[in-house]
Structure 1
């Protein structure tokens, strides 16, 4: 009986069984550049802005797809690599955007 009620609810309300948010990687337009992204992360990561911008050709999409080994080869310390990768993942999911003004290093 419960299964019948569930099927009826899905037929009457088509969006009821769908997930609230899609976590599939979607192509997005680079609304901010590499420097703005790193300034938004803050915590000293912006010191690597020139090096990373040159390595990825100024393309934010390439920075977001960069893996930890490439960052390591560029000489980015572990703490900063973790921050860059963490914020890149949040940005891809749409959970974080760089603020208008850069964060101060602590």
Structure 2
């Protein structure tokens, strides 16, 4: 049993990163507009308002809290999406794609 676990651990260490079967194009530089377009779901409608409020700095958008977004007049559903994707982006779990997501 210990030998089987050791071989699996060795396999995972040698395998490195997980494979991705879908090539996803990413922006070289991510700005506020690209970030919101990547989130999609109608959030990109607030791009001009947010870019003016944070001065075009994505880092300030990533550090924004829900009360600040509420004062800008962004609806609750969109605030939740922005904050959720900002958290994923900070952790390196998500990046916006080159083409915007399709809303169906």
> TM (normalized to structure 2)?
0.72
Per-residue CA distance 1:34-66 (angstroms, 9 max, x = gap): 000000000000000000000000000000000
What's the counterpart of residue 80 of structure 2?
Answer: 82
What's the counterpart of residue 69 of structure 2?
Answer: 71
Equivalent position SS for 1:100: coil
CA distance in 2, matches of 1:98, 1:70: 23
CA distance in 1, matches of 2:57, 2:65: 15
What's the counterpart of residue 37 of structure 1?
Answer: 35
Residue pairs, 1:6-85, within 5 angstroms: 31-85=29-83
Equivalent position SS for 1:37: helix
Q: CA deviation at 1:104?
A: 1.8
Equivalent position SS for 1:32: coil
CA RMSD of aligned residues (A): 1.2
Point out where structure 2 has 5 or more consecutive residues left out of the alignment: 1-27
Count of residues paired in the alignment: 77
Q: Structure 1 stretches (4+) deviating beyond 2 angstroms?
A: none
Point out where structure 1 has 5 or more consecutive residues left out of the alignment: 1-29
Q: CA deviation at 1:31?
A: 2.8
